[in-house]
Structure 1
């Protein structure tokens, strides 16, 4: 199987896997058990992992809150600062956010908050001018992803930070698809909170984190209650091996040379696909994009059928969201102006830093075979 769905989840980095497995054996004590050496050892391992996450985003370790993933981190950031008694009740999010942000935002709207959605341009980037116009003195929170999970387009977070700071609003950044290839400087970014995910960057599933700027810590309220772990923001026993694996993955983030090679392999595959699929269009800015993302709308191929025909040789995803098994057009692509029919012809192909040149070659061959078979079957049906 050639795995080309890295934006859904990445394989674990070998060093992270090794560290996780060793931690399962070595750290069987509760890291919050302060009465004995076994607990101290587990706590020390968590502290080392926490420091690795902090180093990865140039932050301080005591600003890192471990969570079960970016979804929980997003929920903690959004609900955590949304005090109904506050005079500020405006929440600004983009129309292309992950559902882990859109869902909490819509729940706040049901609770009486004013939620406004920033439109997106055809190139997949939010309209920065509209964003600035929507942020005013009543704005409590702006939530914006750094890298879109479907198109890979990098969003203008720096501009959002300036606009939010000008009126005293908070800024939350979902960096789930950015950690691992974009240099993140938490303190210099202008953000107040940053969400991260382990399994999107070579770490294990089931672990994530929220960076909370020290100055706003007291403004964030926990979602759960029952313990004082994570400085009271996230009660519950921390999964030491997952923390350790996440921390180790953060110590093996790709360098610029590796990222350049990664981008070149993706470009090679994209060029081959455009050559074999006349009329196909790549969605999203070509200048500011994740090094492994290809969002491709074909002229006449049904995405579901092509994905199925590639099995079991190549793993990709279609350009539509799926909720409870019910397919629906991608809200990201629709916000960019694509029709429902175009969404149904869209593929999301995402390479990873572990993707090899040989896999690109073999994947191209499988794509060619699958599209030829698709066209033959379509002609026979006609």
Structure 2
């Protein structure tokens, strides 16, 4: 029933209406207001230097009923430098879902990302009801991005789960003892590595970033330009950047933010990079993250990574365990071009919340 609505490109004057649509249809997580989200949309699509804008909407005479965007990324594809786009911020007015604007938006999105020179599109999906329509439109299921958590306050987590004050009070002391035992079992030795909080990424990190990127096969590019756009340009996102130093030289970085996860407050590890695979650097960053979580009265620390991530075992040894939350990673590959689905191996793909953290 696409004759009921018009599909067109988004202009900045549409952003407030899109933000209100997202809020009314429960796309926005707690703490992300429509006013902040409208600014966020401008940052993602209009002000990004990572690639050409892809942002479309469905409209009827009385207003916007659906939105879909593609976040641009510079990407390493084996030995090639390409551009890819992350399908993001899909929202459809619940009153118009029976008219299937999703399929019209998908058709336009697939057409436009190829016209604008992107080599492939990818996305992260949490619900079967969203996955199956994507597969019908030619997307491929690539693998899963699992969410791991480490408890910071078992007593607080238990209290929010049971919601019975008397039971929570009785369980508080035993759970505090268990938390102390957990922290002791997964104690992190870090050899007094200095970790400083920064507001941006300095040019001195360019060379070690390039060396780190050379080890990756398929990966969104980490460069000074990309990191500062991703984590410093949009102040309202409140990313916190931590840099470890070894012999006065940067040895990696950690980016976190406070994030609601259902009824819990978490510190989400958005990106963590260790330049020389040093366990002591990883431990120092996780220890700093735990300290920040305690200062913020967070219930837990969370991170999203694949089973083949080079730091997966380090996270597990640091007390992280797999939760029931996960993202299904999907990809759309043109029939002709410089990337082919037959050449894609999910175990070559480095992906985490760096790619997907926009609601």
What TM-score, normalized by structure 1, do the two folds share? 0.24
Q: Which structure has more strand as a fraction of its residues?
A: 2
What TM-score, normalized by structure 2, do the two folds share? 0.25
